Structure 1
């Protein structure tokens, strides 16, 4: 017996050692495979980037080359005297060329002595000689086709950015040299393009001549760079002159990079793109870190279970305690999985919206954009922002962190008011039946969220019926509640008058019992990809819970489903309150003085610029402490305070309370996109502007909040 016990203990000890050794060995193998995979992915990204840079450079040089050829045909056979006589006309043509091609700084026509006959900068050109420039003397002795020069600095009186020349020889009818046609190309045009395509950390792009002279570089250099033909880069290019992929320490900064290069067609130009090897390793570290995040807890859990088994043979009670700890760890793992699902869904939807916004911004930056297309792209950005705000609102509603705007309203009347919109939304093939009470059913909740919840339940019912069937909306008061709601309302006066129950019943296919427990989870949906976000019922759940109510569902396969939304009922003697419309235009400030408190400088500048344009006088501070100091010093110069809620140190709520405590009679308007304090305790009597907000909405709220104070000031006068 004792021998068997010793053997079982020894076996458990070996298993504990293996639970550590095996994951470590697997991690080492996975790390090796992952490093190779990360390098391969990085190489493919680098090669795709150099392909983009190659196509860009080829199009730019071909465009300039064709323009030079066209200019050469224009002046072919014309003596210098005639060209000088036509200088104003040719100047305008060259100027139009440089304006149409943003990569060009200027365009020139030189005589045989290197003096400018025409250029695109000034008319007539000054009497200066340029025979010492490489783009000129390279053509004197022989015809070499298109020549691409070194980076140069403009010669006084000409000023501006550095450039490199791209030139062609002017020949007489007998083939003798009579001058040069040249275009000054801006390296910064290429560098700006490289900055856009090389946004990843550690990105690198460069363009240079075959002799090693670097023409453009990203990140930009403060000095000229010439690669040594005998160096590592030069030797690799000599061995593989068309294209290649190397790892090398770049001469300009000594940073080791993985670089791909490619020659630009027949031009003596190479383009290169790469990534710092440290950035590639950082990607690998991030990937392995993700493995460790899950691997270490899993390994630790296995080790813990074995340790529990070891102690179980000695202490049965200790085994039970350890088992409970393992169950808690499993629940935590499940919560992490749900959080990962939520995060992935949010990232997917927001990436779609950001893609629309980014593409629209890029298209707006294109030259010669028509007004119709510009308006279309601006509308796309505005629509994407609105959809993002709606998605954020749904998430906050599910999490019960959405600052609600409760008001007393008749649930039956509100359901009736949605009839026409629901008829349009659901379609003519669905019969809508509304069973509404004769007496008012008053609730105190966010009316907008209430309507959204009804629309979400109706849409869910429509999809369950495949667009054809019958939906019944029923509103009634009840004192019978489900167990969860009874627990939520225990000890709360808000439930003393019972509940208002709004039911939505359909004749759809019903919900399987196995899925009933998951239908309120965020991003859980049985619809096809692209036909639903999985946030509709989550919003209903979050709204009901945050309003002190509950939502339940009963369903039978083949006989439809019934969703019941419970909201605490308020006394019948309270009258519904009407909300003012929020679609009014912006309100002029007329010199109204506003103290803006915002720690995000970009958002603060946006609000300040918009309000200033409407005639408001703005004082901007980035924290609540400085704002309070401004008010204590001279509160009379401000008509109101507009403050963010979430700030380091003193929050906007703290600032509002401090203003009240000091007896400062300046109204406070708060703004936030998310605040747990606001969702729990409200806005402390202050007007609230939800982020994201428009300048029109902000001006209306500020004007409304400041009006009582301005009236009192006028009465005092």
Structure 2
């Protein structure tokens, strides 16, 4: 072959290679001279970097790097590395012509002539933005799953602690009330008992918060008129925050009822208002409002589609930074000083919202205050408002004149003895059993029993399982289930009357009276 033919063949091969490179659109492939200036530009580079060839040829490739990477000298280090070892490879943010950023995978290869002298570089860039976003989304999902698992574990632990604590408080409160009746009328002694009762009641309030966080407290949801509920507790709210903070209410003229437990919602609202007070040590304003909203599947609070009432509490306080805001609803996390907060206030509100089928949403920025939104489902418009019947509303005169025989079942000896003493003080005859098995043995022995009061969380046989066994043999036996848990098994008897722990003698008296009254009617 003649030299001219070989030259023409070489040009044809080079032309084909150039055509291939310039036709690639998924990769930016271009050449740099030994100083880093662009000498060629393909269609892929133009597609995701935004520059036409005439705009970029002769320009230094460092213009594709972010200002922070240019300040650290990354472009020059990349060329130095490629020149010394033959290749440089990394991933990082790069700039498009319009200033937006994309995540790039970059390879820079050294090009040398036949004598081994550096003549330039070949640079290949891939746009991996979509892949990186998918990876980031996956990592966030994993983190959310881990956090959910951690919160579930803490919830299980918290619920168990609260159950045991409830048993202790039940024994303490019951004994204190009985002691108050028996000691002489000594003002000092009565004051000491009153202090002890108040301490135990504060402990009971704490366990309710713990159970709310663990979503195990007993809820009685009913349609609630939110403006009326807030108005009814306005004096309590104002006393709780003091004279330096004013409360404003903003409600629409017409607002549907929300479905929630009224007593627990009042506690949640009080918690939110007290938190707002603590964020405004120099005074300010708390705005309580509500509005109805229809939620679709794209709502940022991740609510089920439907109609909701958004009850909000906004303050003009110091606000929270992003890190604090992210942790605000975690159990036992508090920004208050040592001894000034349990860290369960927002956790309790969060638990109530979740258990009610809604969400707690917090919005805050430093210096701009905080808004807590409690999203609750709208009640069925046809639902009837059920009046509350607190235990204290049952008068002692409602009790039957004759003494009853009551079987008390509890695996905790303190609670068992305490409950028995309170019932005996009310004039009843009491039989005791420390397990479901012994309770059944007592009944099968022929002992006449008018009522069974049983704990739920017992080993080997739970209270609901015991109730099922009793009703299988004695269908008409009245049973009271004493528990601090709301998550009773789905196969349990949902019609069982419940007595929430810890209970006082008045609570016990009212529950027994209602059970006999319901049986009589």
Tell me the TM-score range normalised by the shorter chain.
Answer: 0.5 to 0.7
- Are 1:640 and 2:451 an aligned pair? yes
Alignment of 1:440-519 (within 5 A): 440-466=255-281, 468-480=283-295, 489=304, 495=306, 498-519=307-328
Q: 2:510 aligns with which of 700, 709, 717?
A: 700
- Are 1:391 and 2:200 an aligned pair? no
Q: Is contact 1:507–1:561 with CA below 8 Å preserved after alignment?
A: yes
Q: Is contact 1:525–1:533 with CA below 8 Å preserved after alignment?
A: yes
Tell me the equivalent position of 1:437.
252
Q: 2:440 aligns with which of 628, 635, 647?
A: 628
- Are 1:596 and 2:408 an aligned pair? yes
Q: Is contact 2:410–2:435 with CA below 8 Å preserved after alignment?
A: yes
- Are 1:709 and 2:501 an aligned pair? no
Higher relative contact order (CA 8 A, sep 6+): 2
Distance apart, 1:573 and its partner CA: 2.2
Tell me the equivalent position of 1:127.
none
Q: Is contact 1:593–1:618 with CA below 8 Å preserved after alignment?
A: yes
Task: Return closer, same or farther for 1:677/1:473 CA change in 2, 3 Å cut-off.
Answer: same
Task: Spell out, residue by residue over 1:94-117, the C-alpha distance to the aligned partner (whole angstroms, 9 max, x if none).
Answer: xxxxxxxxxxxxxxxxxxxxxxxx
Q: Is contact 2:407–2:432 with CA below 8 Å preserved after alignment?
A: yes
TM value normalised by structure 1: 0.45
- Are 1:618 and 2:427 an aligned pair? no
Tell me the equivalent position of 1:557.
366
Q: Is contact 1:475–1:502 with CA below 8 Å preserved after alignment?
A: yes
Tell me the equivalent position of 1:664.
475
Q: Is contact 1:410–1:442 with CA below 8 Å preserved after alignment?
A: yes
| 1:477 aligned counterpart, secondary structure | strand
Q: Is contact 2:391–2:506 with CA below 8 Å preserved after alignment?
A: no
Tell me, which stretches of 5 or more residues in structure 1 are unaligned?
1-323, 712-717
Between 527-536 and 475-484, the greater mean CA deviation after superposition: 475-484
* Structure 1 Cα separation of the partners of residues 413 and 224 of structure 2: 39
Distance apart, 1:483 and its partner CA: 5.5
Tell me the equivalent position of 1:20.
none
Tell me the equivalent position of 1:651.
462
Task: Return closer, same or farther for 1:564/1:614 CA change in 2, 3 Å cut-off.
Answer: same
* Structure 1 Cα separation of the partners of residues 465 and 450 of structure 2: 19
Distance apart, 1:656 and its partner CA: 2.1
Distance apart, 1:674 and its partner CA: 3.8
Structure 1 runs, 4 residues or longer, greater than 4 Å off: 481-488, 584-589, 629-635, 680-683
Distance apart, 1:662 and its partner CA: 4.2
| 1:646 aligned counterpart, secondary structure | coil
| 1:479 aligned counterpart, secondary structure | strand
Task: Return closer, same or farther for 1:484/1:379 CA change in 2, 3 Å cut-off.
Answer: farther
| 2:295 aligned counterpart, secondary structure | coil
Tell me, which stretches of 5 or more residues in structure 2 are unaligned?
1-138
- Are 1:402 and 2:402 an aligned pair? no
* Structure 1 Cα separation of the partners of residues 146 and 295 of structure 2: 33
Q: Is contact 1:410–1:576 with CA below 8 Å preserved after alignment?
A: no
* Structure 2 Cα separation of the partners of residues 402 and 469 of structure 1: 34
* Structure 1 Cα separation of the partners of residues 477 and 277 of structure 2: 50
Q: Is contact 2:454–2:479 with CA below 8 Å preserved after alignment?
A: yes
Q: Is contact 2:297–2:303 with CA below 8 Å preserved after alignment?
A: no
Q: Is contact 2:301–2:361 with CA below 8 Å preserved after alignment?
A: no
Distance apart, 1:566 and its partner CA: 0.7
Distance apart, 1:705 and its partner CA: 0.8
Aligned-residue CA RMSD in angstroms?
A: 3.8
